[in-house]
Amino acid sequence: MSFMDDDRPKKPVSHEIGCELDALSADELDRRIALLQDEIRRLEAEKQKKAAGRRAADSFFRS
């Protein structure tokens, strides 16, 4: 490995549900866990926005 290898862009961390995990290091698993936790937070925030919109619509049409 040469000093030039450090300048190469690193592949972004990604995860495919159900993929093989045997070849991953503990650090790679930690990065994937963090990635998935961030995605869960993003999904939950979107769900809350949609639920709030639904409640507002229900309230408006019930009046």
Cα-based distances in Å from 46 to 35, 43, 50:
17, 5, 6
- In a structure prediction context, what are the per-residue pLDDT tens digits for the chain, which is 63 residues long? 556 666 777 777 788 999 999 999 999 999 999 999 999 999 999 999 999 999 998 888 886
The pLDDT of residue 8 is 75
The pLDDT of residue 29 is 96
Q: Where are the domains of the chain?
A: 25-63
Dihedral sign from CA coordinates of 11, 13, 18, 20: positive
